[in-house]
């Protein structure tokens, strides 16, 4: 079954089946898993998943491709391949939603399934930032994520302190997830071909039980859910080229500079550092100092 590519929402469809197989194999899906795929496009990943899991939920904003994939999965083609035979054997429950993933309620859906969700997606580049914000907020609905982003964006998500790609997103993701870069995918493997390469990465909601320090576990839990922490991190990265000694004069005008300097010094944070050099723990320390001074929760 083939289809003439129609692009309405900035999609770049993966056309290399070997890479699709590599992505799905990295997920290690089982027949007990409830899997969600966002934006299946022409179904190159979808066809490899259906039949191997308990439920497969397709979320697609484009009604054309939702109908296409639904027809493909339910096709009674006599020349059925192994994936179709597996679907019939395992009776995979297929669910289809014609909706913008940014508007889908994953928390409620997870509750309705009585199960954590496993998500896979070759995400349209245009929604990379907002979908990550949504995943941050609704991470408790998920067991894990296998996602393909633009290579540069993926690099920003996983960058650690002192790396040039470190950004506000890096810090916020680190407070919410454990991340692993799996492999890169060259742009020639997509149609239409994007301008840059992509990266496949794995993400797991952060397990707070791994921290021996219970106080830090509570602090990172607060940071992960606090809009104030996110605001502070973004504020500091607006002045990423400035040393903290200088940036404290420009940010958080409600706190006197000498008070801010004392907060950093009390937290053993070097004021000659720049934001990208701070560790997650240092960001959390200063956020808590600011929070307590301002009387926030």
- Per-residue pLDDT of the chain in tens (297 residues, 90 and over written 9): 445 555 555 578 999 999 999 999 999 999 999 999 999 999 999 999 998 999 999 999 999 999 999 998 887 343 445 555 544 445 789 999 999 999 999 999 999 999 999 999 998 888 999 999 999 999 999 999 999 999 999 999 999 999 999 999 999 999 999 999 999 999 999 988 999 999 999 999 998 888 778 888 899 999 999 999 998 899 889 888 889 988 887 777 778 889 999 999 999 999 999 999 999 999 999 999 999 998 887
Q: Are 60 and 98 in contact (CB under 8 A)?
A: yes
Question: Strand runs (DSSP E) across the chain, as ranges?
Answer: 13-14, 34-38, 55-59, 93-97, 117-122, 142-150, 177-185, 190-191, 198-205
Q: Provide CB contacts within 8 A for 87, sequence distance 6+.
A: 50, 51, 73
Domains contained in the chain, CATH given: 13-206 (3.40.50.150), 213-294 (1.10.8.100)
Q: How many CB atoms lie within 10 A of CB 214?
A: 9
Handedness of CA 193, 197, 202, 203 (dihedral sign): negative
Q: How many CB atoms lie within 10 A of CB 253?
A: 8
**SS3 state at 122:** strand
Q: Walk across the sheet containing 55-59 and list its strands.
A: 93-97, 55-59, 34-38, 117-122, 142-150, 198-205, 177-185
The answer to whether the pTM exceeds 0.85 is yes
């Amino acid at each position: 079954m083939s289809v003439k590519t129609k692009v309405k929402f900035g999609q770049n469809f993966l056309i290399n089946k070997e890479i699709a197989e590599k992505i799905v194999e990295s997920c290690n899906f089982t027949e007990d898993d409830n899997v969600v795929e966002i934006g299946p496009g022409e179904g190159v990943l979808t066809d490899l998943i259906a039949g191997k899991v308990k439920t497969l939920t397709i979320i697609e904003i484009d009604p054309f491709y939702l109908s296409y994939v639904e027809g493909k999965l339910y096709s009674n083609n006599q020349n059925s391949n192994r994936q179709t035979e597996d679907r019939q054997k395992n009776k995979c429950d297929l669910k289809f939603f014609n909706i913008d993933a940014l508007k889908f309620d994953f928390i409620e859906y997870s509750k309705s399934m009585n199960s954590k969700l496993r998500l896979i997606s070759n995400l349209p580049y245009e929604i990379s930032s907002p979908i990550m914000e949504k995943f941050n907020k609704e991470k408790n609905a998920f067991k894990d994520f296998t996602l393909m982003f633009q290579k540069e964006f993926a690099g920003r998500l996983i960058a650690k302190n002192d790396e040039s790609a470190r950004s506000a997103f890096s810090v916020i993701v680190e407070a919410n997830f454990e991340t692993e870069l799996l492999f890169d995918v060259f742009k020639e493997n997509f149609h239409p071909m994007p301008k840059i390469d992509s990266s496949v990465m794995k993400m797991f909601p952060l397990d707070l039980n791994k921290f021996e320090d219970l106080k830090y576990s509570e602090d990172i839990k607060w940071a992960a859910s606090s809009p104030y922490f996110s605001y502070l991190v973004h504020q500091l990265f607006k002045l990423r080229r400035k040393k903290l000694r200088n940036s404290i004069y420009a940010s958080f005008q409600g706190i006197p500079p000498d008070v801010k300097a004392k907060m950093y010094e009390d937290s053993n944070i070097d004021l000659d550092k720049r934001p990208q050099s701070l560790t997650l723990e240092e960001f959390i320390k200063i956020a808590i100092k600011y929070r307590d001074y301002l009387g926030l929760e």
